[in-house]
Chains A and B, each alone.
Chain A
Amino acid sequence: MMRLRLAALSIFCALLAACGSKPVQPPAVVSQAQSFMASGMQAYNDNRYTEARNFFGRAFAEYRSVDDLDREVHALTDLADASLQQGDVVAARDDIKQARAALAQHPMPGLPIRLSLLEAYADLQSQDPASAIAVLDPLLADTTAPADVHRAGLFARTQAAFDSKAADAPQWLAKLGKGDGDLDEARLERLQALVAVDTANAESLYASALHRYQLAYYRPGIAAVHEEWGALLLSQQKWTGARDHLQRALDVRLWMVDASHSARDLQAMQQADTALGDAGAAKQDGIWADYLKNGGDPSKSPVSPAATPTPSN
């Protein structure tokens, strides 16, 4: 009986070993860079953009050390994307510039159009919709653009139309048609809220978009909905509601270490606090907004008083 069991165990072990495959051992530089890229991608997908930028930067350094231009451009594109997600337009433009320079030496299909999309996002974040439109119109006319880039470009073009208060904004919105997936649908609802017939309708669209983003745990979307919702309520002089949404947006933005959006949220909160008669809070909002605009560290946020620096400096 014992022999039978031992034989069965041996056969099982042999079969198990046969199911394994010999690990492929790439050169150290490749496995290191791949590991950085994979870690960066994981961090990016979890909206941990500071970490993602760190890993993409390290991967870029590895690729550059072996003159791998293809992957260098990929890493730079990822760096630019992660920087934009944190509202760091300056860093993003620098990465895009470097990627373009590399592409000039070593052309790669599909990458220039992706970089153009990121440039348009940078223009939108810099509140320069005219420049964004100048980049997006040729992108949308390019029939070789991949479907996902084209769709994202269409969203950006519609946003640019709304930002520049163009008369054709509703037509651009109509071109977007129906949403494809939760994130796409949520982005569409946010744009639809801008042309909603009344505040209740707009609020309902924002609530739906927020719910979709929350289900996907997509932090930039959650923060953006609160910001747009807060802006709507500010325009309606509903100060308490506006302040609540802006505070929630700020909490998310600070977590993402996004200084530029956090500063804008604080400025809007200052307006609400002033209207609510809370001069002390309004003053604090102003101090913090200035601190962040002057290159202050968002991680030393007012959310954690223990980390409070002296923003008056």
Chain B
Amino acid sequence: MAEKEQVHYIHRLSYTARERLVGVFVLAAILLLFLVLAFNRQTKDLFEAKFTLHAVITDAQGVSVDTPVMVYGLQVGKVTDLSLSPDNRIAVTMKILERFHKLIRTDSTAEISKLSVIGNAAISIKAGSPDKPMIPADSELVMSTPMSVDQMMAQVQPVLLDVKSTLAQINALTHSISPDDLNAVVKNLASVTGNLKVITGEFSSPQGTANTQAALQNLAGTLKEMQARLAEMQPLIKNANAASADMPALLSQTRKLVGQLNTTMGTVNYQMQALPDMVGRTRQILDQTDTTLQAIQNTWPISSSVPKKPDTTLTPVQPPQ
């Protein structure tokens, strides 16, 4: 009786029951696998209907297989293939989830994200007009590429050249007024004001009245001299006038240049905003790499050929120098 009780329960089941039990286990395993596939973030789209789109670009800018494809900031698909087109450009094949098909119309265009310049490659499709028909599967999208850093720099270059030339013109303008002429005129004016001082002194003195006549004569002479100096200044003022005629054009050019610089700096600023995040992630990756390298270094036979870093905390005792 005791021996009978010790027999495993499976032996007490009929053959059919055993078959059913095995079937339940197999089905449960299949169901589990299916659930894992269906609810896993990586594979949740595995069974969803998709359609293919193609595009041709001249500069991949970090786009690779699995690069996400976005519409309105939502990931709607990914790049599945990159190959060379017959005209030596890069043919990009994208798989897009069918449920987002209605967002992409025949007038939709695509572009590589600007962040691809600093490593965050993504393809962004502009949703088309609702009045246009949906884009057919396997058709080709028009795709534009953002400026590379080199191209941005090339764009800044002419702006800098313009700034340089403007500065040169301003420099020429300031040089058109001869410092010698100006100096002479100022000296003459100084002598004129000196004379005026003497005359007014004479006016205020007790003998002023008596000397008024003479002073008036002096004044007449001084005014004559002043007239002559003003005549000398005339051509200088003309020069300055001619030079200042260029000023409005120069100012407008400068304003335009500043505008261009602002636009360029705005683009650069936008790219720079993504940098801290990238640096943070790089740090994490480096930490992980460090851990992995440590593990590799601790693994035979590598561990035997990698010298251990000194773990002493005191320098060796040596005789005096």
* B-binding residues in A (CB < 8 A): 16-17, 19-23, 25, 34, 37-38, 41-42, 44-45, 71, 74-75, 77-78, 81-82, 84-85, 114, 117, 120-121, 124-125, 146, 148-149, 151-152, 155-156, 159, 183-184, 187, 220-221, 224
Q: Kindly state whether residue B318 has any CB partner on chain A within 8 Å.
A: yes
Q: On chain B, which size bracket covers the interface?
A: 20 to 34
For the complex, give the distance between the alpha carbons of A75 and B317 in Å: 14
* Residue from the list A44, A75, A184 in contact with B319, Cβ < 8 A: A184
Query: Is B317 touching A85 in the complex (CB atoms < 8 A)?
Result: no
Query: Is A183 touching B318 in the complex (CB atoms < 8 A)?
Result: yes
For the complex, give the distance between the alpha carbons of A17 and B302 in Å: 12
Q: How far is the CB of B105 from chain A (nearest CB, A)?
A: 51
Query: Is A156 touching B298 in the complex (CB atoms < 8 A)?
Result: no
* Residue from the list A19, A71, A74, A152 in contact with B318, Cβ < 8 A: A152
Q: Can you list 29 contacts pairing A with B, beta carbon distance less than 8 Å?
A: A17-B299, A19-B299, A19-B300, A20-B300, A21-B298, A21-B299, A22-B295, A23-B298, A25-B291, A37-B313, A38-B309, A41-B310, A41-B312, A45-B316, A71-B313, A74-B314, A75-B313, A78-B313, A81-B315, A82-B315, A85-B321, A120-B320, A124-B320, A146-B317, A151-B317, A151-B319, A152-B318, A156-B319, A184-B319
Q: How far is the CB of B99 from chain A (nearest CB, A)?
A: 41
Q: Report A-chain residues with C-beta under 8 Å of the C-beta of B298.
A: 20-21, 23
For the complex, give the distance between the alpha carbons of A25 and B291 in Å: 8
For the complex, give the distance between the alpha carbons of A264 and B315 in Å: 26
12 additional A-B pairs beyond A34-B311, A84-B321, A151-B317, beta carbons within 8 Å, are A22-B295, A44-B315, A45-B316, A78-B314, A148-B316, A148-B317, A151-B319, A152-B319, A156-B319, A156-B320, A183-B318, A221-B321
Which 9 A-B residue pairings sit nearest by Cβ, starting from the closest?
A155-B319, A20-B299, A38-B309, A23-B294, A19-B300, A74-B313, A148-B317, A41-B310, A187-B319
For the complex, give the distance between the alpha carbons of A75 and B294 in Å: 25
Query: Is A220 touching B321 in the complex (CB atoms < 8 A)?
Result: yes
For the complex, give the distance between the alpha carbons of A300 and B316 in Å: 30
* Residue from the list B299, B314, B321 in contact with A16, Cβ < 8 A: B299
Q: How far is the CB of A186 from chain B (nearest CB, A)?
A: 9
Q: Report B-chain residues with C-beta under 8 Å of the C-beta of A148.
A: 316-317
For the complex, give the distance between the alpha carbons of A299 and B251 in Å: 50
Q: How far is the CB of B169 from chain A (nearest CB, A)?
A: 39
For the complex, give the distance between the alpha carbons of A44 and B319 in Å: 15
Query: Is A38 touching B311 in the complex (CB atoms < 8 A)?
Result: yes
For the complex, give the distance between the alpha carbons of A221 and B321 in Å: 6
Q: Report B-chain residues with C-beta under 8 Å of the C-beta of A155.
A: 319-320
Q: Report B-chain residues with C-beta under 8 Å of the C-beta of A149.
A: 317
For the complex, give the distance between the alpha carbons of A125 and B291 in Å: 45
Query: Is A224 touching B321 in the complex (CB atoms < 8 A)?
Result: yes
Known: A16-B299, A20-B295. A77 touches B319 (CB 8 A): no
Q: Report A-chain residues with C-beta under 8 Å of the C-beta of B309.
A: 38, 42
For the complex, give the distance between the alpha carbons of A124 and B316 in Å: 19
Q: Report B-chain residues with C-beta under 8 Å of the C-beta of A124.
A: 320
Query: Is A159 touching B320 in the complex (CB atoms < 8 A)?
Result: yes
- Contacting A at CB under 8 A, from B283-298, are 291, 294-296, 298
For the complex, give the distance between the alpha carbons of A262 and B97 in Å: 74
For the complex, give the distance between the alpha carbons of A188 and B311 in Å: 30
For the complex, give the distance between the alpha carbons of A215 and B312 in Å: 24
Q: Report B-chain residues with C-beta under 8 Å of the C-beta of A81.
A: 315
